[in-house]
Amino acid sequence: MATHFTNSPQFRLIVRDLGQNGEIPKTLIISRSPTDNIDAAEIPLSKIKVEGGSTPPSNVVESKTVYGVVGFITLQNNEYIIVITDRERIGTIKNADVYRVKSVSVVSITRNNMTPNQAKSENIYLQKLEDHFDTNNMYFSYGYDLTQSLQRQASTSPHPGWKQADPRFFWNHYLCEKMMNGDDHEDNNYSMSDFILPIMQGFISINRAQVHGHPFAFALLSRRSRLRAGTRYFSRGIDKDGNVSNFVETEQLVIYDGSDAVGGYDFTGRHQMSYIQTRGSIPVFWSQVINMRYTPKLWLDTGDDSLKAMKTHFKDQVATYGPQILVNLVNKKGYEYPLAQAYSQGVIKTGDPNLTYIHFDFHHECRKMRWDRIKILIDQIEGQLEQQGYCYYNATNSHKPFIEKAQTSVVRSNCMDCLDRTNVVQSAIAKWVLSRQLQQLQILRPGEIVDEQIDFMHLYRKVWADNADAISLGYSGTGALKTDYTRTGKRTKTGAFEDLTKSLMRYVKNNYMDGARQDGFDLALGVYRVSSTSWEDSPYNLNTPLIIHIVPLVVLLSAIMCIFGVMLISYSGITSTTLICLFIAFWFSLLVTTFHYMLQNSQCYVDWPRLVAVPGQSDSNILKPSAEALTSTYLPRKFGKQAQRRSSKELSALEEGDQIPLKKMS
């Protein structure tokens, strides 16, 4: 594809599709004349049309190569088209190339004049949008539906273009709404559907593998749901519609052309095998309100509304995947136990015979780095795995392919974050299934397992560890923990030290950086739709008092002076230390006082989302400050337009659970 700007009497942006595989080239034309309403922030559909042919336009002032249209978005003052400007080829699935988005360009298609404050607000939105696409793994294919599993593709009637995509994993669905709505516009000679390119967020790895001289393609695809998407502490539990946070469908693919297949990386797929697992947050109303402490307070609601949402969730899951084998990996005591209890009781109350609940306390069973004990869980569910099966799509006769074997249920795993422990268990279950698949293809001999194939296991562990890192990066901001076991098959002290480092990084990012990342999710997915407002009403117009900015500097200065005082005692040679001790005592008391102030006012120092409120923010029903509080120099006058507070006493009330519609669990 290519985009062109022209300097004709009309402002025109032209996207040319040069056509593939014999298709007719098409051109998407976006035009705006000087007589149009210059104050309109959005171009009407009547100014967008699709024409046949791909002849380069005249009067081109700027041109660039693009690889797809992500979609359209209207911000505060202008409308933009988002296009893919760089891509990386990952591999092929059934002769269709799969790409990772390397970079996008957000191009304005309106030219409205803006005041400096309006431009400031608009640039903030643009930065959030660009950061979202830069920091999350996005994938697309022109010839293979990445949003649908192999079994769903084989068992459903095909629909043209984007209409067959699974809306849960169609990441740019909101951004494509304009093109979807323009399909039937009277001025279009060709449907705008031709330019709709579903993008999947998550992870894809496609590799050529070989076992006993048999070459085959080994692929792993993890699809993150766009419903209730977000960051670790700002997206927890379930919503009223039954959508859970961090829901990911992971599909392991084996594509084999038979023992007489020619080598290389392109497999036509005479034999196609797939195995699906899912993960998702514990499906009850719960949250963790960040407060600068390493472990936030746990908030939990097990009322009727929570149970109703759980029933909705599992009704949808059973309809999509069949019966659910629920593997809960959280601790059976301590901080995590209330959630485990709420989950198990909720499953019992649903009364659904399609749900099998298994609680495997991962940390207890695998303590002292005995991670080989995951086999205890595999042995426990082995009978259900045998009954569940996997998908085997037999295409040896390309004219009459058929599903020889279907996966009839799914394992749904979770821990607190659905990241680290979940990754380890999912890779172990997938490995067990893979041995059976390769035996059926006669790549492995009866009774043989993939663990015995040293070269292949090196690839297998690497792919699953990379998957763990990618899924964790999108949710927590860091790579996954425990990947030393996934990569090497054993737990190491070096890996434990790396996990400590990642845990500290998670603390910093989740408390002080994730608000901005959550805004990126909400903006790109349409959870928040920008309205035309003044800078004074912008969610990014923060008027926090000076003291809020000064206190962290005082904390830093006090810590430095305390260290300086200790160094004076050790190295100065001063015989009398009374004065130095008083010096240290003063700065230490100031350090304690100011740090205590920050903890008491932690909501002013953590990075909250500014666009959509979360529990502990505006959903907490925190009262707006009184007129007296607004004039106080010691309290924030405004907190991101949404969450506002009057005193540290109010924060104490929040910590006691009085200000949010959830119950605190100790």
Looking at residue 486, what is its pLDDT? Answer: 67
CA quadruple 536, 542, 548, 549: dihedral positive or negative?
negative
In this prediction, residues 408-413 reach a mean pLDDT of: 98
Neighbours of 87 (CB within 10 A): 18
pLDDT in tens, 549-583: 898 899 999 999 998 888 877 665 555 677 888 88
pLDDT over 90, % of the chain:
50
Looking at residue 635, what is its pLDDT? Answer: 30
Looking at residue 578, what is its pLDDT? Answer: 78
Looking at residue 660, what is its pLDDT? Answer: 35
Q: Which long-range contacts (CB under 8 A, 24 or more apart) does 185-192 make?
A: 185/45, 185/46, 185/48, 185/49, 187/45, 187/46, 187/49, 188/49, 188/50, 189/49, 189/50, 189/51, 189/52, 190/26, 190/50, 190/51, 190/52, 191/50, 192/28, 192/48, 192/50
Average pLDDT, the chain: 82
pLDDT in tens, 327-354: 999 999 998 999 999 999 999 999 999 9
Beta strands in 162-239 (DSSP E): 200-211, 214-224
pTM of the model: 0.84
3-state class (DSSP) for residue 81: strand
More confident residue, 291 or 352: 352
More confident residue, 4 or 461: 461
**DSSP classification of residue 164:** G
What span, in angstroms and rounded, lies between the C-alpha atoms of 250 and 224? 9
What span, in angstroms and rounded, lies between the C-alpha atoms of 640 and 444? 59
pLDDT in tens, 22-65: 565 677 777 766 555 555 677 777 677 777 665 666 666 667 78
End-to-end CA distance of the chain: give it in Å, rounded. Answer: 57
In this prediction, residues 294-303 reach a mean pLDDT of: 85
Tokens of 655: 């910590």
Find, among 143, 280, 268, 150, the residue nearest to 220 by Cα.
150
